[in-house]
Amino acid sequence: MRVTWIALEWPRAGHHSGGVGRYVQRLAERTKDLVELTVICFEGAVPMDGVAFETLPAPRGRLDRYYASAFRASRAVRRLAPDVVHSHGDDILLPSGVPLVRTFYGSSLNEARSSRGLRKLNHYVLALLEQRSASRATLKLGIAPESLEMMACDAIFPPYFGVEPAPRDISATPTVVFIGSFEGRKQGHIAQSAVAAIREEQGDVDLIVIGPQSDASSWEPWVDHRSGLSDDEVATLVRSAWVLVSPSAYEGFGIPVLEGLDHGLSVVAHPNPGSEYLKSLASGPVPLDLATGEVFTTALRQRIETGPVLDAAEQQAARQLIDEIVEAGSPARLVAMYDDARARAAPATRRLG
């Protein structure tokens, strides 16, 4: 089966990769032997053996990224003429007649509500286009109940495979790790404020930030800011920490939260559709605390005072949660969905012929 992905968030050399980009790369690694896979992405994409790439010019600004690039992606699909297209976004101008599987990684509408300025306006426009994409798709996949309901998706397909098991080399100094930007919906400034308050009370508490280089100057000098890291380097840093924090105003799912739990850390997060969904799936005392304001700092303080090692019940609850999510998001299940999309689209394709 010839499958083409529209995956413009695919990691690029020298660029910070977000959660969707890193997940799509991992999904390709596990899917490439099951289908004949071509990925449409931007030039400078990190290559992968067994995957063909159709690259587009790197975007120059917001309009180019979200609108002109979508036009270029649609032209690339026409040239490739695949059996199935799997879109991870940017599919607003796709030609009809091709079976389209569309994954919704949350909601542009809710991103707009948690954004400011031009980003806010852009996401309101994208929310309208998202509805068009939903009406065009042959099969719609949501990553959590929010996207399932808002886009009337056919199934939940979680964007997570688990991490490679490895021993933790835990920092001797209490260390908090945060993945994201200082401003915007990730709200890294809240992580900095919470750690700063605890540092004033307890002395040495470190904050490691994994985020874009363009954001580095926003952080206080005592913050250890890293960018441009490989997945292995990110995993090593996360495993060294005591607690992962995710004060994001909005997450459709929340990959960093699961990665923290998977690496054996406790997690303190803001309540949002993603973190609340993950918490609701837990069948035991999963070490995921949801809090805002002063309670967020209190929860972080308590996790630091408890220490970096989870107790047996917390470890078991985290493991059960992760295993359930990994099973629901398996590549074999995805390929079966591609077959389903082809079967659904077959009558319409014959009419077009």
Tell me: do 227 and 89 sit in the same domain.
no
61: domain range? 2-159+329-352
pLDDT recorded at residue 122:
60
Q: How many CA atoms lie within 13 A of 256 on its CB side?
A: 26
Question: What whole-number percentage of the chain has pLDDT above 90?
Answer: 72
Rounded Cα gap, residues 264 and 253, in angstroms: 19
pLDDT recorded at residue 351:
41
Residue 81 in this model has a pLDDT that exceeds 80: yes
Task: Extract the runs of DSSP E, i.e. beta strands, from the chain.
Answer: 2-6, 36-42, 52-56, 84-87, 100-104, 139-142, 155-156, 175-179, 206-210, 224-226, 243-246, 266-269, 288-290
Encoded tokens for 284: 């035991």
Tell me: do 306 and 317 sit in the same domain.
yes
Is 170 part of a structural domain of the chain?
A: no
Residue with tokens 């002395």: 203
- Of 133-147, 157-171, 244-258, 320-334, the one with minimum mean pLDDT is 133-147
Is 257 part of a structural domain of the chain?
A: yes
Tell me: do 285 and 242 sit in the same domain.
yes
Rounded mean pLDDT, 136-160: 91
Residue 111 — very low, low, confident or very high, per pLDDT cuts 50/70/90? low
Is 164 part of a structural domain of the chain?
A: no
Is 79 part of a structural domain of the chain?
A: yes
Is 169 part of a structural domain of the chain?
A: no
Is 96 part of a structural domain of the chain?
A: yes
Tell me: do 72 and 112 sit in the same domain.
yes
Q: How many structural domains comprise the chain? A: 2
Tell me: do 141 and 196 sit in the same domain.
no
Rounded Cα gap, residues 352 and 97, in angstroms: 7
Tell me: do 116 and 238 sit in the same domain.
no
Tell me: do 93 and 138 sit in the same domain.
yes
Tell me: do 210 and 334 sit in the same domain.
no
- For 39-68, the pLDDT digits (tens) are 999 999 999 999 999 999 999 887 888 789
Is 166 part of a structural domain of the chain?
A: no
Tell me: do 344 and 311 sit in the same domain.
no
Tell me: do 284 and 343 sit in the same domain.
no
Is 208 part of a structural domain of the chain?
A: yes
Tell me: do 36 and 139 sit in the same domain.
yes
- For 267-297, the pLDDT digits (tens) are 999 999 999 999 999 999 999 999 999 999 9
Residue 317: which CATH number?
3.40.50.2000
Tell me: do 226 and 100 sit in the same domain.
no
The alpha-helical segments, DSSP class H, found in 39-107 are 62-63, 69-80
Encoded tokens for 249: 């105003």
